Amino acid sequence: MDPVARPTRQRPTDAELEILKVLWERGPSTVRDVHEMLEARATGYTTVLKLMQIMARKGLVVRDEDQRAHIYRAAEARDQTQRRLVNDLVDRAFDGSPGELVLHALGARRASAADLAEIRRLLDTYEEKKR
């Protein structure tokens, strides 16, 4: 492996993804801030702290230790993480076929008229870029 190559980020667990959603929404936050946002899910403070420490080791969050209360931020933007997760799903479950993913997604859940219009718009944009 190339020593300069950046290591691939691990996939976040469901609990880690919930924490990332808070960080994407709020921006850089302390463990206490994240815990307060997750409190409705009956998640204990020490559980959130431990998860965020693990996430820092996995490269999912970055910890700023300059202040007394450590500040955490997501290592990637939401769209980058979503793109990486979708690419992984397409590769693992659909043999690299984005079309199969879309067909299964549309077959699994009823899409609203707005969702379908957005899909059509995205397909049109994709086709225009290919030309």
The pLDDT of residue 32 is 93
Closest CA to 56 of 69, 75, 81: 75
Average confidence score pLDDT of the chain:
89
Residues 60, 129: Cα–Cα separation, whole Å: 32
Q: Which residue has the tokens 């979708």?
A: 86
Residue 5: band (very low, low, confident or very high) from pLDDT cuts 50, 70, 90? very low
Residue 2: band (very low, low, confident or very high) from pLDDT cuts 50, 70, 90? very low
> For residue 73, what are the CA distances in angstroms to 2, 57, 112?
28, 13, 33
CB-CB contact of 90 with 97 (8 Å)? yes
pLDDT digits (tens, 9 = 90+) for 59-98: 999 999 887 788 999 999 999 999 999 999 999 999 999 8
Which residues, in sequence order, are CB contacts of 32 under 8 Å at separation 6+?
45, 69
Report the number of secondary-structure helices (H) and strands (E) in the chain: 6, 2
The pLDDT of residue 8 is 59
